[in-house]
């Protein structure tokens, strides 16, 4: 990926349904590193797998955010079926099993996810003087024409 800035106004093609999946982790007890660090370290391997096999898996792209206690990752998928199919694959199932074995109901670390299925034509994306980002990285990134400018 490049950090090339695209001057002007851009949008994305809205001709396809998309799924937005938000997943994250919250560190509830900072000193319980042995509980939250394995959870944190499980994600990079899955992300690498998603990018390597993105065409076959239906994964489009993602963005990550890191706060003092809470991390969030916004992922873009082709369909809910693709997302669910990935959740059933070995790398994810192994990480989920380890989380349940090591953390379970221990309140040192929390995880969350939200899934939104969005129909074509029912979303908007505008990027002004930005690199390809978010949906602009996941879908076709196109300049806004004078006829689209409103």
Q: What is the pLDDT of residue 143?
A: 93
Q: What is the pLDDT of residue 106?
A: 85
- Residue 133: strand, helix, or coil: coil
Q: Name residues of the chain where pLDDT drops below 70.
A: 1-2, 149-150
What is the torsional sign of CA 87, 68, 128, 5?
Answer: negative
CA–CA distance, 24 with 45 (Å, rounded to integer) = 15
Could you tell me which residues come within 8 angstroms of residue 83 by beta carbon, excluding any fewer than 6 positions away? 19, 21, 58, 77, 115
Q: What is the pLDDT of residue 12?
A: 94
Q: Which domains does the chain have, with CATH numbers?
A: 1-15+119-150 (no CATH), 18-109 (3.30.70.100)
Q: What percent of the chain has pLDDT above 90?
A: 75
Closest CA to 121 of 22, 18, 50: 18
């Amino acid at each position: 990926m490049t950090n090339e800035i695209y001057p002007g106004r851009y949008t994305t093609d809205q001709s396809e349904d998309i799924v937005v999946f938000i997943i994250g982790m919250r560190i509830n007890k900072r000193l319980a590193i042995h509980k939250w660090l394995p959870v944190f370290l499980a994600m990079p391997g899955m992300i690498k797998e998603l990018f390597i096999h993105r065409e076959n898996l239906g994964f489009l792209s993602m963005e990550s955010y890191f706060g003092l206690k809470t991390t969030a990752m916004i992922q873009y998928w082709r369909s809910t079926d693709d997302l669910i199919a990935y959740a059933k694959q070995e790398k994810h199932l192994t990480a989920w099993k380890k989380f349940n074995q090591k953390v379970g109901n221990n309140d040192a670390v929390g995880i969350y996810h939200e899934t939104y299925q969005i129909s074509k034509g029912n979303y908007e994306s505008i990027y002004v003087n930005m690199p390809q980002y978010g949906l602009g990285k996941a879908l076709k990134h196109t300049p806004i024409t004078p006829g689209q400018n409103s």
